[in-house]
Amino acid sequence: MTIETEEPTLTVDELAARAGVTVRTVRFYGTKGLLPPPVIGPRRVGRYGPGHLARLGLIEELRRQGLTLAAIERYLDRLPPGLDAHDLAVHRAVVASWAPDAVETVEREELGRRAGRALGEEDVDRLAAMGVLEAGAGDAAGEDSYRVDAGLLRLGVRLLDVPLSPEAIRAARTVLLDHARAAAHELSRLLREEVPEGDARVVRSLSAHMQPLVVQALLTAFQRSLTQELREWLGEPPADGSP
């Protein structure tokens, strides 16, 4: 298991504090093989980087969703090799979106605190274009409050540094939603052919088992397809070396 890190500068205590877990938890995940070992620096001190932090966040999100350690291990084993911190953050955002209560109402000050940076009006507009938040949470909330998808906020903030206009982001979101609905419709049709009609218990059980696998398969397929499209756009040779 490998993980791409920019600068492995965090001690185990700093990593645990940043992730909101205990040092014991970090070491436990390490012994189970869920978290790669640190980079050993001077004085034999282990150092961790952004990739470790992102993977730790993904593990914790999977646990919050109710997955057992064995299920988490299977999930991580199916991830494509060589994922960096950003890729892992994408997976974490997708996993967080499984939660039915991911949307929260927060004030502007709290929004900035959770984002980890000051947010200008243009930043808020771009986050709204991504579907991360919605301004005007209702009569019960203040005028300067927002309905925020907590699972997507961290990813959305990282995308603020991508040079895309709000119009381009809205267009991209429309494309993704349309294709996601089409894929969900076709998968639902396949499941209906396998499940006895009207058996809600079987449907819920099958959905609980299939959803993580389907989401991961879609995400992996999309990442690979997008990489191939970019290679063709830039005139680069295919990764497998074929003509």
Local confidence band at 198 (pLDDT 50, 70, 90 cut-offs): low
Give the pLDDT confidence score for residue 93 in this predicted structure: 72
Q: Which pTM does this prediction carry?
A: 0.52
Give the pLDDT confidence score for residue 193 in this predicted structure: 75
Positive or negative, the CA dihedral 131, 133, 139, 140 is: positive
Question: Among residues 230, 212, 222, which one has the least CA distance to residue 70?
Answer: 212
> What type of residue is 192?
R
Least confident of 25-29, 35-39, 81-85: 81-85
The yes-or-no verdict on residue 2 having pLDDT over 80 is no
Give the pLDDT confidence score for residue 222 in this predicted structure: 78
Give the pLDDT confidence score for residue 100 in this predicted structure: 54
Give the pLDDT confidence score for residue 210 in this predicted structure: 66
The average pLDDT across 84-90 equals: 80
Show the CA angle centred on residue 221, arms to residues 218 and 227, nearest 5°: 135
**The two structure tokens encoding residue 89:** 């953050």
Give the pLDDT confidence score for residue 98 in this predicted structure: 60
> How high does pLDDT run on average in the chain?
79
**The two structure tokens encoding residue 187:** 């998968």
> If you write DSSP's letter for every residue of 213-235 in order, what string do you get?
HHHHHHHHHHHHHHHHHHHHHHT
Higher pLDDT, residue 168 or 214? 168
The yes-or-no verdict on residue 188 having pLDDT over 90 is no
The average pLDDT across 108-125 equals: 86
Give the pLDDT confidence score for residue 122 in this predicted structure: 87
Give the pLDDT confidence score for residue 223 in this predicted structure: 73
**The two structure tokens encoding residue 195:** 């499940």
Higher pLDDT, residue 197 or 54? 54
**The two structure tokens encoding residue 4:** 């791409």
The yes-or-no verdict on residue 77 having pLDDT over 60 is yes
The average pLDDT across 30-49 equals: 89
Higher pLDDT, residue 187 or 77? 77
Residue found by looking up tokens 């494309």 in the block: 175
